Amino acid sequence: MPSAGLGHDVLSDAIGRDVTASTLCAWSPVAEVPNAFELDVARLTSLLGGGSAVDQMIAGAGNSRGTDEPNQPMRVRRLLRRLPLLCGSLAIALGLFVLTGWLLGHSGWTTLLPGFPAMVANTAIMAALAGVSLILSGPAVVSRRRSVIARILAGAVGVIAMLTLAEYAFGRDIGIDELVASSPAMRFRHNPGRPSPQSAATFLLVAASLLTIDWRTARGKRPAEVLALLSGLLPLLALLGYLFEAAELYQFLTIYPYIGMGIASAVTLFALSVGLLVARADTGILSVLVAGDSGGLAARQLVASLFVFVAGTSAAAIGARIGLYDAPIASALIVLLGTVGGSAFVLRLSRRLSRLDAERTAAIQAREDVMGVVAHDLRNPLGAILMQASFLRSLGPRAADHTEEFTASIERAARRMNHLIQDLLDVTRMEAGRFSIEKQPVDPRRLLAEAVEAQKPLALSDKLELHLEPTPPLPEVSGDWDRLLQVLENLIGNAMKFTEPGGRITVGARSSDHHVRFWVSDTGHGIAPEDLPNVFDPFWQGRGSARRGAGLGLPIVKGIVEAHGGRAWVESTRSVGSTFSFTIPTAGHAP
């Protein structure tokens, strides 16, 4: 089914170049008409055959199927935009909590869990400063003042981290370790109050990432993302060490005994690295998560499955630690989770990709339908215009004698083109939800009389009897006069197309339950039962029937009726005829 992209990218421009009789008659001399027409025809042809806009239609048609997949990237984008604020707030909260513990002498607040390395005061200060800097620089667009403050805070974090690493590297104490707080309980350490080298190195990476968050290389790369990824490795290792009781992962037992990255430090640094990584997710390496294509779908499914696996693995490890079962059982549970979860992930992703492939195939078919309509229904009027224009040119000075004849022919062809383009625009506006009507009280009997009167000449030329049933007094309906007239004319015109000469077409209306029901009946061939669900689909043509139009009249009927709050349907019997009906709410009961 075509999307709104087709109407707005291709046809709206074409319809802005309508060719009318008044335009034709205003051109002088006549010899200029062929050149103007050939330019317009060539331009319209290129517009309707343009690949880029039609390719956009494929994406729109594929995404318009009955799935919420197009909403997933938007939801993920909103989540990623909130993460820098959440991660920065977590870093500030933990930093201030631990710093308060140092200032008040509550050593338990500094470790969160007894027996593990503490977050020292300088680490808490760096955590709070980095958290504020991340919140200030997290949005993609920030004020200059906000950016400067964020950089100053990040610079302060970087200075503290570099001085700490310098103390370790050169074996000197420069007196910054216990400027804010000290604890007698840490006097057994060689350097009491000093952040661990792991924490200092990670904070240095975090500071560098904050300072370069919006900087790009000549090749468009963002070093801040690489720095954020590196800054997340050490705290992730530390957290895994705490989870699986592997002290070597969170402290260097041989190099710096009893100096390790505390739980609070690991959580804070990992949160900061995640916040930095997603701060520019729309344009960075995580942009695939917000993509609407198959790659984006696969990435989102994989990340979700990884979160489930990590949560399951952590639960299995915690169960072993608290004595619910032995370590071998925990390992078996983890293997089981990986096997079952991995299989479920593969099957789920494969099914979703298969569905996307089916939608893409349907979208390509929709494009072929559109292009088939354009090629079939515009070729004849375009050919007529070109032929008449070329013939006028060949006549030279004698063209003035034939101006009226040829301009009338060109006008008819242009009107056919304009009518098809208007129909395409109506359908695309309906599908995009941008179709509007202007409601007013409408007299149903006067509406029916005008519609029938307008179509009688065509019915007579086709040797058909067009009959308006005697209609009792009807309440006014709330509707758009021109659009309701278009509905009746489409239905009557459709009936005339499929009724043989000598047949009968009946138009009528009745009032029923706060609605007025209109109908158009014919004595045509009827519609096969299996085809009835498809008659209101755009471009649909009955099997085995010759193409008799673009296949847009009935979809437009349905769209206009539903815009009025009514419904349209068809009843048909083979070899007997069809009755198309629609309802419109009365003026006092319109939605």
- Residue corresponding to tokens 């008819």: 412
Statement: residue 134 has pLDDT above 90 = yes
| Stretch 442-466: mean pLDDT | 92
Give the position of tokens 């005061």. Answer: 121
- Asked whether residue 37 carries a pLDDT value surpassing 60, the answer given is no
pLDDT tens, position by position, 252-283? 654 455 567 889 999 999 999 999 999 988 77
Give 500-504's long-range contacts (Cβ < 8 A, gap of 24+).
500/524, 500/525, 501/462, 501/463, 501/464, 502/463, 502/464, 503/464, 503/465, 504/464, 504/465, 504/467
Q: Is 169 left (phi over 0), alpha (psi -120 to 50) or beta?
A: alpha
Q: What percent of the chain has pLDDT over 70?
A: 75
Task: State how beta strands 440-442 and 515-522 pair.
Answer: unpaired
pLDDT for the residue 132: 96
User: Token pair of 587, please?
Assistant: 């003026």
Asked whether residue 569 carries a pLDDT value surpassing 90, the answer given is: yes
Q: Which of 142-146, 286-290, 517-521, 532-536 has the highest mean pLDDT?
A: 517-521
| Closest by Cα among 227, 170, 172, 240 to 201 | 227
CA distance 440 to 287: 49
Higher pLDDT, 363 or 358: 358
Residue-level pLDDT at 222 = 87
Q: What local confidence, expressed as pLDDT, does residue 440 receive?
A: 92
| pTM reported for the whole predicted model | 0.54
Is pLDDT above 50 for 225?
Answer: yes
Take residue 55 and report the two structure tokens written for it: 């390719």
pLDDT digits (tens, 9 = 90+) for 421-452: 777 777 777 766 777 888 999 999 999 999 99
User: Can you list the pairs that 229-233 forms with residues at least 24 positions away whose Cβ atoms lie under 8 Å?
Assistant: 229/273, 229/277, 230/205, 231/202, 231/205, 231/206, 231/269, 231/272, 231/273, 231/276, 232/269, 232/270, 232/273, 232/274, 232/277
The DSSP output letter for 532 is G
* pLDDT, tens digit (0-9, with 9 covering 90-100), for 307-338: 888 888 888 888 887 888 888 888 888 888 88
Helix (H, G, I), strand (E, B) or coil at 487: helix
Give me the pLDDT at residue 543, please: 56
**DSSP string for 234-278:** HHHHHHHHHHTT-GGGTB-TTTSTT-B--HHHHHHHHHHHHHHHH
Work out the average pLDDT over 152-171.
93
- Say if residue 420's pLDDT is above 50: yes
Residue predicted with more confidence, 110 or 159: 159
* pLDDT of the residue at 156: 96
pLDDT score of 580 more than 90 = yes
Flag whether pLDDT at 150 surpasses 80: yes
| Residue 131 confidence class, pLDDT cut points 50, 70, 90 | very high
Burial class (CB in 10 A: 0-12, 13-18, 19+), 261: buried
Which range (5-19, 202-216, 289-303, 525-539) has the least confidence?
5-19
- Write down the domain spans for the chain: 1-70+292-433, 80-287, 440-589
Higher-pLDDT residue of 241, 183: 241
Class of residue 555 by CB neighbours under 10 A (exposed 0-12, middle 13-18, buried 19+): buried
**CA dist 96 → 44, 121, 241 (Å):** 67, 9, 25
Tell me the average pLDDT across 224-229. Answer: 92
pLDDT at 141 over 90: no
Give the up-direction half-sphere exposure of residue 576: CA atoms within 13 A in the CB hemisphere: 8
Condensed to tens digits (0 to 9), the pLDDT of residues 44-59 reads 444 444 443 344 444 4
Confidence of residue 3 (pLDDT cuts 50, 70, 90): very low
Q: Would you say domain 440-589 falls under CATH 3.40.630.30? A: no
d(CA 109, CA 122): 15
12: pLDDT strictly greater than 80: no
Sign of CA dihedral 554, 555, 558, 560: negative
